[in-house]
């Protein structure tokens, strides 16, 4: 199992390292998640938070979709924090678990009988144009 060289600097440092070690000990590679946790650690340190338990207010900016961000990346950012929060709760540190953000699904329109009939009528009456 490879050890990633991320240097965490916030008050969460030890907990982040232990969280990632636990996940890797369970067989997860946790490489991209460790990178996201590095970003989260910077987020936490930049705001000067001196407490460990995550709160809705402390996560407010973290869980907002960024202008240049795909929905899938937002999902990944929040998913790793959800897992970290569960980890913190599991070791006795009360921590807010942000809501799961689902990736958007394409909107599907199922044709009703009338629409299907109309579609086939138009197909049956279609006259292709002649190409020169």
pLDDT tens, residue by residue, 59-89:
999 988 888 888 788 889 999 999 999 999 9
Tokens 């990632």, residue? 20
For the chain, the 3-state helix, strand and coil shares in percent, each to the nearest 5, are: 50, 0, 50
pLDDT of 110: 86
Cα angle for residues 113, 115, 121 (degrees, 5° grid): 105
**Residue 34 CA to its chain's centroid (Å):** 13
* Pairwise CA distance, residues 56 & 93, whole Å: 15
Mean pLDDT (whole number) for 8-14:
95
Q: Hey, how many other C-beta atoms are within 10 angstroms of the C-beta on 28? A: 13
Mean pLDDT (whole number) for 88-95:
97
With a cut of 70, say whether residue 5 has pLDDT above it: no
pLDDT band at 128; cut points 50, 70, 90: confident
Tell me: the pLDDT tens digits for 35-53?
Answer: 999 999 999 999 999 999 9
pLDDT of 4: 54
Contact present, 82 and 14 (Cβ < 8 Å)? no
Q: Hey, how many other C-beta atoms are within 10 angstroms of the C-beta on 98? A: 17
pLDDT of 103: 58
* Pairwise CA distance, residues 19 & 98, whole Å: 17
The answer to whether the pTM exceeds 0.85 is no
With a cut of 90, say whether residue 21 has pLDDT above it: yes
70: which 2 tokens? 């795909």
Tell me: the pLDDT tens digits for 101-127?
Answer: 765 566 777 888 998 899 899 999 988
């Amino acid at each position: 199992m490879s050890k990633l060289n991320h240097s965490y600097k916030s008050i969460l440092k030890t907990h982040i390292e232990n969280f990632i070690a636990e996940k890797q000990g369970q067989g997860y590679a946790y490489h991209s998640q460790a990178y996201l946790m590095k970003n989260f650690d910077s987020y936490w340190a930049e705001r000067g938070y001196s407490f460990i338990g995550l709160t809705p207010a402390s996560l407010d900016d973290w869980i907002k979709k960024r202008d240049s961000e795909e929905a899938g990346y937002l999902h990944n950012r929040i998913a790793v924090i959800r897992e970290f929060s569960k980890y913190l709760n599991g070791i006795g540190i009360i921590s807010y678990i942000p809501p799961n953000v689902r990736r958007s699904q394409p909107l599907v329109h199922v044709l009703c009988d009338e629409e299907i009939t109309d579609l086939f009528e138009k197909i049956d009456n279609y006259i292709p144009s002649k190409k020169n």
